[in-house]
Structure 1
Amino acid sequence: MFVTERGEGRPVVMLHGFGVDHRIVLPLDDALSGRGWRRLYVDLPWAPGWTGPQTGGAQSIAEALVEGIADRLGDEPFAVLGNSFGAQLARYIAHVSEPRALGLATLVGVFEPRHESRRLPTPRPLMRDDALVERAGAAGEAFREIAVIETPETLAAQLRWVEPGLRDADQAVMDAVAADYALDAEPEDARPAPFTRPSVHVFGRQDHVTGYEDGWARRDHYPRGTFAVLDAAGHHAHLERPTLVAALLQDWLDRMDADQPR
């Protein structure tokens, strides 16, 4: 379950999205390092690093993660960051783990599990490079489906951080999760008291996979939440706008640090 641990200090659990593995959130590590937080990277059940129990859908994965975190950290307080599908899990973990949860970060998070019910922008690529995509072959086609900004840098990031996880994913496990993709209840509904720890919720303005409006609709539940909708960013916002995402995450760490007794 826990693939790698980096750094020293208070723990932050890092959860990736659907169909990929922990490598997709590794580009965030530079932003989080050297600030008194140790990063615990998790592989979810379709990825090779999962060592947890056999799971079915989202709810059983979320419960297995809560148990795995407790086994690893005991009573130690922690923060949690989730990307895409991992953000749905992170929201659950943060809510059921209060008061041990120090904070929550969601990155292009799933706030509406039913694809047909999501409020999504029309796909709108902002920068195209046909020659770049053509040279990349099949990987270029997959890149074009998701990218808002097509540059050598964003393609290289896709090939390094995204494609390996896609190749290694267990399709049978993914099919089982896709058939039971939602939690039993949305965390904000199951525990309607506001989540008062520092949080940050980052969305891509051009993200046609999870969008931003469903997450924005939850803003009143997070009175300590920063909500940022980034232009020129799609579902891989941290690969297309790395500097801005890094600044938002570092601000989140600073706010959690300020909350701790001195």
Structure 2
Amino acid sequence: MSQPAPHIVRRGSGRPLLLVHGLGVDHRFLLPLDDALEAAGGWERIYVDLPGFGGTPALEGEGGLPEFADWLDDVVADLVGEEPLAVLGTSIGGLLVRELVARRPEQVTGLALLAPVVDPDPDARDVPERTILEKDQALLAELDEEEAEPFLDLAVIQTRPVWEQFREHVLPGAQRVDEDALTRLQDGYALEGPLPEERFGTYDRPTLIVTGRQDDKVGFMDQLALAEHFPRLTLAMLDRAGHNVHLDQEQAVGAMVQNWAADAAREL
């Protein structure tokens, strides 16, 4: 069964760095990190749309998480072959890039995870209660109800600067989701076999994990428990940040991503 070619956006030049977004958005969600990655130097940033999101058509067949993992592995094979690469993933993209580490442990020279899914089963996650730290009531009163719904569900800082980031980098992808593909993915929202860490054991390359203290979607406790698998881990839990941690704390996350990318470049 043939599967869709990925829609990708390339920025810069150098060794490949693959960036993988999460559920319900597309590659534009991660573009706010591009200045930091460019400043690190030495990387061609490859932003990919997952199947059924953005510009990539949906998978044929079942279209669950195992099929997404196989598709992404094939994309890496087609784009970079056996060449070393670094990977960055957010939310479910954070699980998918860890799966790449399990499959390609010698090839992946750096791993960055932003608010990553640890266990696909929502009932197995340790998450805090929903908290909103700041609201701009005037802004909320003027928002279109349909556009505001995903913003209000995710944002813990509901102010104009955060909304403008959300409108630019989240809404365009959210409005292009293939709903059938999303349903099939949610119906098959589990990897086959053990989670990636149980297979690769220890990953001894530059690793970054950034979580939001107020992230009520995937939490922060499960991510802290990953530390034993990553001897070269930088781990940060940021206050005033929810699931869209790099939008809520753009400067802090950008600085950490830049440092991580520079460290990963030294591995080449």
State the TM-score bracket (shorter-chain normalisation).
over 0.9
1:30 to 28, 35, 56: 35
User: For 1:45, which of 39, 42, 51 is the aligned residue?
Assistant: 51
1:142 Cα deviation after fit: 2.5
1:60-139 residue pairs with structure 2 within 5 A? 60-138=67-145, 139=147
In structure 2, relative to structure 1, the CA distance for the partners of 1:224 and 1:71 (3 Å cut) is: same
**Displacement, 1:106?**
0.6
Is the alpha carbon distance of 1:251 and 1:48 closer, same or farther for their aligned partners in structure 2, counting shifts above 3 Å? closer
Moved more, 32-41 or 168-177: 32-41
Does the aligned pair in 1 maintain the 2:136–2:160 contact within 8 Å?
A: no
1:16 aligns with 2:24: no
Letter in 2 for 1:43: D
Q: Hey, what's the Cα distance between the residues in 2 that align with 1:209 and 1:153?
A: 22
Match of 2:25, as an amino acid? Answer: V
Once the two structures are overlaid, the 10-residue window that deviates more, 50-59 or 19-28, is 50-59
Q: Which runs of 4+ in 1 moved over 6 A?
A: none
Task: Please say if residues 2 and 40 of structure 1, whose CA atoms lie closer than 8 Å, have aligned partners that are also in contact.
Answer: no
Match among 174, 177, 183 for residue 169 of structure 1: 177
Distance of 2:27 and 2:82 partners within structure 1: 24
Residue type of the alignment partner of 2:225: A
3-state DSSP class of the match of 1:244? helix
**Which secondary structure does the structure 1 equivalent of 2:140 belong to?**
helix
Distance 1:115 1:89 in 2: 16
Matched, 1:191 2:200: yes
Structure 1: gaps (5+ residues) = none
Structure 2 CA distance for aligned equivalents of residues 245 and 94 of structure 1: 22
TM-score (norm. length: structure 2): 0.93
Paired position in structure 2 for 1:143: 151
> Structure 2 unaligned runs (5+)?
1-5
Q: Is the 8 A contact 2:206 2:263 kept in 1?
A: yes
Cα offset for 1:64?
A: 1.1
User: How many Å separate the matches in 1 of 2:86 and 2:128?
Assistant: 30
What secondary structure does 2:266 align onto? helix
The alpha-carbon deviation at position 257 of structure 1 amounts to 2.4
Identify the residue that residue 234 of structure 2 maps to in structure 1: 226
Amino acid at match of 1:4: V
Counterpart Cα distance in 1 of 2:33 and 2:57: 23
> What is the alpha-carbon distance in structure 2 between the residues aligned to residue 66 and residue 140 of structure 1?
35
Query: Do the aligned partners of residues 143 and 51 (structure 1) sit closer, same or farther apart at CA in structure 2, a change above 3 Å counting?
Result: closer
CA distance in structure 2 between the partners assigned to 1:45 and 1:137 by the alignment: 28
1:211 CA drift (Å): 0.6
- Secondary structure of 2:235's aligned partner: strand
SS in 1 for 2:257: helix
Alignment TM-score, normalising by the size of structure 1? 0.95
How far apart are the structure 1 equivalents of 2:197 and 2:92?
Answer: 16
Q: Calculate percent identity across the aligned residue pairs.
A: 38
Provide the C-alpha distance between the structure 1 equivalents of 2:7 and 2:172, rounded to a whole number of angstroms.
18
Contact 1:134 1:140 in 2 (8 A): no
CA separation of 1:48 and 1:255: change in aligned 2, threshold 3 A: closer
| CA contact 2:58–2:178 (8 Å) conserved in 1 | no
Aligned counterparts of 1:48 and 1:120: Cα–Cα separation in 2: 28
Q: Alpha-carbon deviation of 1:21?
A: 0.7
Distance in 2, matches of 1:98 and 1:123, equals: 36
